[in-house]
Amino acid sequence: MDIPIFPLSEAPKPREEVRIEALDVALYRDRMRVLVHVRVTPFMERPNLLIVVRDESDRLVGELNVIETMHNDMEFTLHLRGVNDPTGWYTAEADLFYETRNPPLDSRVEAFEIPAFAPDEDEL
């Protein structure tokens, strides 16, 4: 008889089956930092991630490299660089890869807006 250690949906997968399952963005009260939550498929081999934030002009304003993560559910704080007034639309993009990022094994993009004032709810 087999007794599974993990539920079947959470059993570690080989690299070709690993995907980004969620990419969520939340704002900090100061509007100059964003909390990025990334969840990937449970994995057998540790993947790499590249997370970038771009403004509405497609200018890079935040970047983070994660090398061989040990966790499949992660949160990171990215500081917006070179931005005087953060008001506007942005995109957060996460690429999942192993040896090379070109092309990535999986990619996810999430658009978000930083309002002209700090939101009252769901803020950090």
Q: What percent of the chain has pLDDT over 70?
A: 87
Strand order in the sheet with 33-40: 20-27, 33-40, 73-79
**87 close to 116: Cβ distance less than 8 angstroms:** yes
Closest listed residue to residue 64, CA positions, set 13, 113, 23:
23
Query: Residue 53: inside a domain, yes or no?
Result: yes
Mean pLDDT score across all residues of the chain: 91
Give the model's pLDDT for residue 2. 60
Query: Domains in the chain: how many in total?
Result: 1
Does 50 map to a domain? yes
Residues spanned by the domain of 21: 8-114
Report pLDDT for 118.
52
What CA–CA distance (Å, rounded) separates 55 from 92? 9
Residue 88: CATH number of its domain: 2.60.40.10
Task: Give the model's pLDDT for residue 40.
Answer: 98
User: What confidence score (pLDDT) does residue 10 get?
Assistant: 78
Low-confidence ranges of the chain (pLDDT < 70): 1-9, 118-124
Q: What percent of the chain has pLDDT over 90?
A: 81
